[in-house]
């Protein structure tokens, strides 16, 4: 399993957000470098965003969720065309698994560090 996974739930419908495109980037100096991109499955999850043997380094990371395309497919109006979650990984956490869930609705969102 990828060292970083995610799960997106549409809280306005109570259903997983399938086919939502997500990009993972790492900050290198002053620029963001794309590490991976994927799409959630029918359960709203991506378990294979990174290859199993890819090991993260300490630093800042960003996950960008393309909510515009998702809500357009649902024929729903929305306020946030994308959601960016920026987080830091410390040296002491390099062997950890990072689960980044997104609770999404057309006019709000919430996230937390999952397990």
78 and 67 Cβ atoms separated by less than 8 Å: yes
The structural domain count of the chain equals: 1
Q: What is the mean pLDDT of residues 86-96?
A: 89
pLDDT digits (tens, 9 = 90+) for 57-75: 999 999 999 999 999 999 9
Q: What is the pLDDT, as a whole number, of residue 48?
A: 92
70 and 109 Cβ atoms separated by less than 8 Å: no
Q: What is the mean pLDDT of residues 94-100?
A: 89
**DSSP H/E element including 74:** helix 67-74
Distance CA 23, CA 78 (A): 20
CATH code, 62: 2.60.40.180
**What domain range is 95 assigned to?**
4-111
Q: What is the pLDDT, as a whole number, of residue 93?
A: 85
CA-atom Rg of the chain in angstroms: 14
Q: What is the pLDDT, as a whole number, of residue 4?
A: 94
């Amino acid at each position: 399993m990828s060292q970083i996974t995610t799960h997106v739930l549409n809280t306005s419908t109570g259903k997983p957000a399938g086919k939502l495109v997500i990009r993972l980037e790492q900050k290198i100096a002053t620029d963001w470098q794309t590490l991976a991109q994927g799409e959630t499955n029918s359960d709203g999850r991506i378990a294979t965003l990174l290859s199993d043997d890819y090991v993260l380094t300490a630093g800042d990371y960003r996950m960008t969720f393309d909510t515009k395309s998702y809500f357009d497919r649902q024929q729903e109006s929305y306020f946030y065309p994308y959601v960016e979650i920026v987080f830091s990984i410390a040296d002491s956490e390099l062997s950890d698994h990072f689960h980044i869930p997104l609770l999404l609705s057309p006019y709000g969102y919430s996230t937390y560090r999952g397990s």
